[in-house]
Amino acid sequence: MILVRGLGVEAGIRTLVSDASFALHPGDKVGLVGRNGAGKTTLLQTLAGRRPAQSGTVARSGRIGYLSQEASLPELEYTDATALERILAARDIGGVQRRMEEVRHRMESADGSERDLLIRRFARLETEFETAGGYRAEAEARKFGASVGIADDEMGQAVRSMSGGQRRRVELARILFADTDVLLLDEPTNHLDLDAKAWLVEFLADYPGALLVVSHDLPLLDASITSVLSLEDGTVEPYRGNYSHFLAERDRRREQRRRERAVQERQIEQLESTVRRFMGTTEKMSKRAKAMQTRADRMKGSLVEVAAAGRSVAVRFPQPEPSGRIPLEGMALAKAFGDNVVFVDVDVHVERGERLLIMGLNGAGKTTLLRILAGVEQSDIGEVVLGHQASLGYYAQEHEQIVPDRTVMDHMRDVSAETDQALRGVLGHFLLADKIEQEASTLSGGEKTKLALAQLVVGRHNVLLLDEPTNNLDPQAKGALLQALHAYRGTLILVSHDTDFVAALGPDRAVIMPEGNGVFFDESLLDLVALA
């Protein structure tokens, strides 16, 4: 369990959480909600012990599993550790299995007393492996991997060679495979297909420990949680019930507070009106007026707090200079990583102003193809040709263009020669104006997404390549992005598993990976989007 008392959390000079107290007990299923940048990720890191609290205490008991929102390469016991070894390491089995393999390999070339020594050492390791449930655990680890979308051949792939999405699925499988008493999950459905999401919802519903989850996947929140912690303006407020109940109850509480505040303000106005009328008349009435003023001042100090209406993200891509009729073309593209052939002989042809969706199952090479088209990665075979006056803007789903130790404003200056005042204005539309001097490492996942989109805006590109741009965005920001893309007259190439977003955007055509088949897009393809 986790017990929080008087917790204060800061990021830079910003206070994200103030005087928060709550508890997570076995069986609690809690959703942590709040707008992008409210401090949800930072709070989760503090609860997991990954960063210190500014004030207050966090008491932990039992084994805690924490899934970060980031898909960065984790610290590995072995630099060439496979996905299976990484998952098994959650129960301290992966290292034993690796040592067994090393001893077995040495036994093949040893003889005499050295071989006898290695045989005895292997027997001890095998006993340790079996005692820890090793052979049974390996099958269980593969089952967890398959459930979150890791193919069986990927289980033997080195974690270092995996994409960000693959690594994050491995980390999710590892944490769920571990014998934990508390789960702290930050956007666990990112990079999961529809089947994996359905499995995760069922797993979390049956999980016997305490769960605290941050997610913009509203069906997950509704189906898997029984209470909500709302983080708003530094205050953590508890609600009973699922996410839908929280939305209704939050509005009811806000309306009640507005009414209470209005009553208090009317009472204060009445008192001060009386004070103005009687102050300076007779001595007796003046004393009474002073007492009324003291009472009014006390009431001002205890006014009911009413949260101000939150500002909204405003996204607008400037209309770019037109490109040639064919701004981007990929011909006979092929890519392999070692023995893993991702795709072969893929053609991509896009015309000016077209909306092209790259789709396919997990591992089909969607992100790899987009990176090749963006010039971030080279194809093994084939070529990419830029058309006349084509200017490419690339959004990477893992925020690869965001440099941790550089400030928000530095990132904007890197991509635009506009004045700081103009850049600050764009950041203001993304609700980042008060963070211009913060290092990018202190931003939440949603704020990093907004910064990357802000860079695209000031880049004035006429071809946008977007890889899962809605990951980590709250519903309002996602709607603002959709509206901006509808108004954008440039060319768009998109990878997305967000069915609602794709349906609302209405692509013109699709390329289905890994075969690279080009088809006109219609609603029948949305089922495949959901599986991606």
pLDDT of residue 410: 92
Residue 313: name the closest of 119, 412, 446, 133 by CA. 446
Q: What is the pLDDT of residues 365-375, one digit of tens each?
A: 898 999 999 99
pLDDT value at 13 more than 80: no
Asked if the structure places residue 154 within a domain, the reply is no
For residue 11, the model assigns a pLDDT of: 77
Residue 517 placed within a domain: yes
| Same domain membership, residue 436 and residue 516 | yes
**How, if at all, do strands 235-240 and 227-232 pair?**
antiparallel
The verdict on residue 280 lying in a domain is yes
Task: Say whether pLDDT at 472 is over 90.
Answer: no
At residue 310, does pLDDT exceed 60?
no
Q: What is the pLDDT of residues 272-306, one digit of tens each?
A: 888 888 777 777 777 787 888 888 888 777 776 65
Q: Do residues 274 and 380 both lie within one domain?
A: no
Task: Convert the pLDDT of each residue in 166-207 to its tens digit.
Answer: 888 999 999 999 889 999 999 998 888 878 888 999 999 899
- Is residue 397 one of the residues assigned to a domain? yes
- On whether residue 110 sits in a domain, the answer given is no
CA torsion sign, 428 to 434 to 438 to 442?
negative
CATH code assigned at 342: 3.40.50.300
pLDDT given for residue 473 in this prediction? 81
How much is the pLDDT for 532? Answer: 63
What's the token pair of residue 350? 């896009």
* DSSP code, position 291: H
Domain count, the chain: 2
> What digits encode the pLDDT tens for the residues 30-79?
999 988 778 898 899 999 998 899 999 999 999 999 998 876 666 776 67
Is residue 357 domain-shared with residue 443, that is, in the same domain?
yes
Q: Based on the domain organization, do 292 and 355 belong to the same domain?
A: no
* Cα 257 from chain centroid (whole Å): 32
293 with 394, same domain: the answer is no
Tell me what pLDDT residue 308 has. 54
pLDDT tops 90 at residue 463: yes
Let me know whether 470 and 345 are in one domain: yes
In a domain, 149, yes or no: no
Q: Among 231, 249, 227, 253, which residue's Cα sits nearest to residue 240?
A: 227
What integer pLDDT is reported at residue 449 of this predicted model? 86
> Does position 312 have pLDDT exceeding 70, yes or no?
no
> Average per-residue pLDDT in the chain?
86
Confidence of residue 512 (pLDDT cuts 50, 70, 90): very high
91-105, 222-236, 332-346, 385-399: least confident range? 91-105
- pLDDT number for residue 200: 93
Note whether 383 and 517 are same-domain residues. Answer: yes
Q: How far is CA 181 from CA 9, 63, 127, 217, 509, in A?
A: 24, 5, 27, 24, 47
> Do 355 and 394 reside in the same domain of the chain?
yes
Cβ contact 66:32 at 8 Å: no
**pLDDT number for residue 101:** 77
Domain boundary among 283, 301, 319: 301
Range of the domain at 258: 252-301
Burial classification of residue 4, based on how many CB atoms lie within 10 Å of its CB (0-12 exposed, 13-18 middle, 19 or more buried): buried
Tokens of 129: 């492996």
| Confidence band, pLDDT 50/70/90 cuts, at residue 212 | very high
Q: Identify whether residues 296 and 336 lie together within a single domain.
A: no
Lowest mean pLDDT among 321-335, 381-395, 475-489: 475-489
* 140 in a structural domain: no
Residue at 275 is within a domain: yes
Percent of the chain with pLDDT over 90: 34
Q: Given 261, 286, 301, which residue is the final one in a domain?
A: 301
Instruction: Please tell me whether residues 525 and 427 are part of one structural domain.
Output: yes
Domain end, chosen from 301, 320, 341, is at 301
Alpha helix segments (H runs only) across 108-193: 112-131, 134-147, 164-177
Instruction: Let me know whether 293 and 372 are in one domain.
Output: no
Task: Report the alpha-carbon angle 442-90-207, nearest 5.
Answer: 85
* Least trusted range by pLDDT, from 2-16, 97-111, 139-153: 97-111
* pLDDT recorded at residue 307: 57
My answer on whether 383 and 270 are in the same domain is no
> What mean pLDDT do residues 414-439 have?
86
Above 90 in pLDDT, residue 213? Answer: yes
Min mean pLDDT across 173-177, 262-266, 340-344, 497-501 is at: 262-266
Of the pLDDT bands very low, low, confident and very high (cuts 50, 70, 90), residue 29 is: very high
What pLDDT is stored for residue 132 in this prediction?
66
Average pLDDT, integer, range 230-258: 86
CA distance 454 to 457: 5
